[in-house]
Structure 1
Amino acid sequence: MARRNFNPRFDTVRPAGIAYCENPHDVSECLNFVRRFGLPVTPRCGGHSYTGASLVPGLVIDVSPMSAIRADAPSETATIGAGARLIDVYDKLSAADVSIPAGSCPTVGISGLTLGGGIGVVSRAHGVLSDNLRAIELVTADGRKLTCDAKNNSDLFWACRGGGGATFGVVTSFTFATHPTSEIVVFFLNWPWSAARSAIDAWQHSREPEYAASQIFTRPMDGTAIDTILAAVQRRGGLSGGGQGGIALDALGGAVNRVAPDATALVHRNGLFNAQITTTWTTDAPTDAIRAQQNWLRSLHAAMKPSASGQAYQNYADAGLTDWKQAYFGANYPRLLTVKNRYDPDRVFRIPQTVGTATK
């Protein structure tokens, strides 16, 4: 069904309408409509938001028809429609022997990933995805179509590199710097459970931290923190409700941390790694089992706070965060708010945990 996103938790959200926009003019017309009637609105690309941000009871602006992908060899750039999915991006760019440093999930949309910063599998080598952004085409809340780059509407361009999606307007296309591709070897390493503690400890020290101090971790975990993770993962295995849960560690540092924290809206420039805690359950899981899994996640998150930095990656949105402004945006939040007030003073875009919304 058209209203279903990646996460079935939000299948009960029923938009009043879903507009499949084929060009910026369609987007502009949609925004004129929601302003006229005071409707909630949100854009949607891949529909992977952890908090269901790409569904609202009002109008969903679905940008998936705008999915063209074009590499330009002379300029070493690629222009990608806002509705493209990563699997198609990689496929089309690989034909030109280039790529961009995006993520690993094939059905994630290019828009949300980029606008929230874009931590990816080769970020240490080439920076986050938004560090490679050269220009965007965007429709503002009042229906204007703007080109944003380092020289044109540069404040909005700055904000769209880590300030989050569904905040300043609806992006219709992105232009990225590309990188030559070469042979890639994909491999997996496995250890017995008895070696899990030493494997995690060795992994985190195999990266070169640029600062010794999400959860985003800016310093290596000690043995106590590692034991906390292992004990939590073992407890998760005993919970009912099906699915799976655990913690994934994404390496940061390298090119990510060579960018100043105020150079773009993505403030997280001193991280050693990002920890993503997840848990899933089957659609027929009983309420008490779901609650137990959610409590498990919150318990592990709380237990890791003494070791973590207090920062959190905005693309892994967490509805349970009360200090999300600081966690997602840190010292960049006041500047982001200035941009929000300029381009969306009436708060047309007002989903929770976006710049300019209330604390909750």
Structure 2
Amino acid sequence: MGSVLPSADYITPTHGDYALFSVGQRPRVPRHPTGVVLAQNEAQVVKSVLCAQKAGINHVVPRAGGHSYEDFSSQDNAIVVDIAAINYVTVTANNGDTGLAKVGAGARLGKVYSDIFNQGGFNFNGGTCPTVGIGGHVSGGGYGMVARQFGVAADRVVSIRMVLYNGTIVVANSTQHQDLYWAVRGGGSGSFGIITEFVISVFKTTQNAMFKIAFDHTKQKELLAAWMRYFPSSDARLTTQYNVDKHGSTLVGQFLGTKDQVQKMIQDSGMLSLGGIKEQTWSDNCNSVGAKAFMWTSSCDRVDILNVPTYLSQNDKEYSKSKSDYGSVLLPQAGIDAVVDGLANSPDWAWIQFEALGGVFATIPTNATPYVHRDALFSMQYAVSMQKGQDRTAPNYQWILNYEQSLKPFVNGQHYQNYCDMDIGPNYGVAYWGQENFDRLKKIKPRYDPHNIFRSEQSVPLQ
């Protein structure tokens, strides 16, 4: 491999940086790839795919940001093609309030947000974590803080470039390779090839009111009930996250309007009148890149938080176990009790995050893209810390398994594919994409990857 790719770093088990690059940022699941290519451009991606097969390694894994919760972006005895350095961001069309941008599929979200803002004041409806790579994020859907107005990130993908198993480069959009274009906007999962470029539709949000309200633990059930009643059916310009742990809770959100308008909405929700407020932060007239920074710093001025490195360090790795669920009906009191009571005796680093859906989600058919969760009212993500080397027998893992069971009566059986979870078992395809979409993905798979070169434990299988 190294002789074929002289200008790319090829990292084998004897390399000093193998421990860093052999796994992603969530390395709870140990992985031992044959080698890792740090590709600098699309041509090196092509060479990597072809060279691996020539060497008898018929397993190639793409990696952008490396944030897979089960570390699917690394696999035993495979060649990992790390595309983090393919991270260019160029606004190619500016039509005033909207535009187009070409983005290298390895670009981290922080760089995407900064660059499109600096090239015309644009925004994009991706997630909140600046170190996540756009490649995996968009391929699984991509939820962010303007989602109730603009949908998931995959909804604004105009076209993609992909390297196939045989080295062919294809462009997929609404007029060519339409089946692949449909598949990768929520059903990618490293299943069809290696995406090297996205063309995304960007937009301007000139009014961004941000807020963060921290509550103590005294009224957690009442606060969650109030959040449930109000936010999934609120103004689509308002997107919120509600985070709960045994010590208290935090409501954080973005409103595409003024502070006065959103303060009235939060007052109308009934949450403020319940008391127990420890801290409030409100920001008016925050620009769109400052709004991204606010989610991590509670300040619209700390845009430096978005300046993330191309490759992350060992210190950035996190050992945890995460799960997700969707709710098609609001949690009844028994469900609220299960959420709060289950956290009472949780480990110290354990939490649950609620995100309100509704808004534009309810207007998009569930088969428009593989992202099937359009008709849910809310989503839940919950997580617990782990230690390196621990498996599912560890007390913290057992806690989250029990917590999951306590919530099961109140959710719809769907799970978010970007929060992958091997505990789902063999029916992961239906849980992530729904039966109809999963069946369609399985028909598309052999057209582009007939030998199943691109695979993981939860990739789209061959028929």
Structure 2 length-normalised TM: 0.72
**1:156 maps to what in 2?**
180
Residue 179, structure 1, aligned to residue 203, structure 2: yes
> Structure 1 residues 219 and 29, CA, compared in 2 at 3 Å: closer, same or farther?
same
In the TM superposition, what whole-angstrom CA distance separates every residue of 1:9-36 from its partner, at most 9, and x where no partner exists? Answer: 24x4232211122222211111112223
> Structure 1 residues 148 and 223, CA, compared in 2 at 3 Å: closer, same or farther?
same
Say if 1:209 and 1:219, in contact at 8 Å, map to a contact too. no
Residue 266, structure 1, aligned to residue 371, structure 2: yes
From 38, 43, 55, the equivalent of 1:20 is 38
Question: In 1, Cα distance between the equivalents of 2:391 and 2:133?
Answer: 33
Question: In 2, Cα distance between the equivalents of 1:78 and 1:343?
Answer: 26
Kindly state the Cα deviation for residue 350 of structure 1 after the two structures are TM-superposed: 1.9
Say if 1:244 and 1:281, in contact at 8 Å, map to a contact too. no
Residue 230, structure 1, aligned to residue 334, structure 2: no
From 348, 351, 354, the equivalent of 1:249 is 354
Kindly state the Cα deviation for residue 183 of structure 1 after the two structures are TM-superposed: 4.3
Say if 2:191 and 2:460, in contact at 8 Å, map to a contact too. yes
Greater displacement, 319-328 / 179-188: 179-188
Kindly state the Cα deviation for residue 303 of structure 1 after the two structures are TM-superposed: 1.4
Kindly state the Cα deviation for residue 269 of structure 1 after the two structures are TM-superposed: 1.1
> Structure 1 residues 209 and 311, CA, compared in 2 at 3 Å: closer, same or farther?
farther
Give the 5 Å matches for 1:98-247: 98-209=122-233, 214-236=324-346, 239=347, 244-247=349-352
**1:47 maps to what in 2?**
66
Code of the residue aligned with 2:38 in structure 1: it is Y
Say if 1:351 and 1:357, in contact at 8 Å, map to a contact too. no
Question: In 1, Cα distance between the equivalents of 2:407 and 2:395?
Answer: 18
Kindly state the Cα deviation for residue 2 of structure 1 after the two structures are TM-superposed: 2.5
Question: In 2, Cα distance between the equivalents of 1:282 and 1:18?
Answer: 25
Say if 2:162 and 2:171, in contact at 8 Å, map to a contact too. yes
From 313, 326, 350, the equivalent of 2:430 is 326
Code of the residue aligned with 2:106 in structure 1: it is G
Say if 2:26 and 2:70, in contact at 8 Å, map to a contact too. no
Greater displacement, 248-257 / 333-342: 248-257
Say if 2:355 and 2:378, in contact at 8 Å, map to a contact too. yes
From 62, 73, 96, the equivalent of 2:94 is 73
Residue 301, structure 1, aligned to residue 325, structure 2: no
Residue 83, structure 1, aligned to residue 109, structure 2: no
For the aligned residue pairs, the C-alpha RMSD in angstroms reads: 1.9
Question: In 2, Cα distance between the equivalents of 1:282 and 1:329?
Answer: 31
Q: Which secondary structure state, in structure 2, belongs to the residue aligned with residue 141 of structure 1? A: coil
Larger Rg: 2
Residue 9, structure 1, aligned to residue 5, structure 2: no
Kindly state the Cα deviation for residue 341 of structure 1 after the two structures are TM-superposed: 1.5
Question: In 2, Cα distance between the equivalents of 1:256 and 1:198?
Answer: 26
Identical-residue share of aligned pairs (%): 30
**2:47 maps to what in 1?**
29
Question: In 1, Cα distance between the equivalents of 2:385 and 2:111?
Answer: 27
> Structure 1 residues 352 and 147, CA, compared in 2 at 3 Å: closer, same or farther?
same
In the TM superposition, what whole-angstrom CA distance separates every residue of 1:176-222 from its partner, at most 9, and x where no partner exists? Answer: 11110324333211222111111111111212459xxx311111001
In the TM superposition, what whole-angstrom CA distance separates every residue of 1:78-99 from its partner, at most 9, and x where no partner exists? Answer: 1111110011111111212111
Question: In 2, Cα distance between the equivalents of 1:245 and 1:118?
Answer: 23
Structure 1 length-normalised TM: 0.91
Kindly state the Cα deviation for residue 351 of structure 1 after the two structures are TM-superposed: 0.6
Code of the residue aligned with 1:80 in structure 2: it is V
> Structure 1 residues 222 and 63, CA, compared in 2 at 3 Å: closer, same or farther?
same
Code of the residue aligned with 2:423 in structure 1: it is G
Greater displacement, 22-31 / 193-202: 22-31
Gaps of 5+ in 1: none
Kindly state the Cα deviation for residue 340 of structure 1 after the two structures are TM-superposed: 0.2
**1:291 maps to what in 2?**
394
Say if 1:137 and 1:146, in contact at 8 Å, map to a contact too. yes
Say if 2:189 and 2:460, in contact at 8 Å, map to a contact too. no
Kindly state the Cα deviation for residue 357 of structure 1 after the two structures are TM-superposed: 6.2
Q: Which secondary structure state, in structure 1, belongs to the residue aligned with residue 380 of structure 2? A: strand
Kindly state the Cα deviation for residue 295 of structure 1 after the two structures are TM-superposed: 1.1
Hey, which of these two has a bigger chunk of strand by percent? 2
**2:444 maps to what in 1?**
339
Say if 2:28 and 2:70, in contact at 8 Å, map to a contact too. no
Kindly state the Cα deviation for residue 349 of structure 1 after the two structures are TM-superposed: 1.1
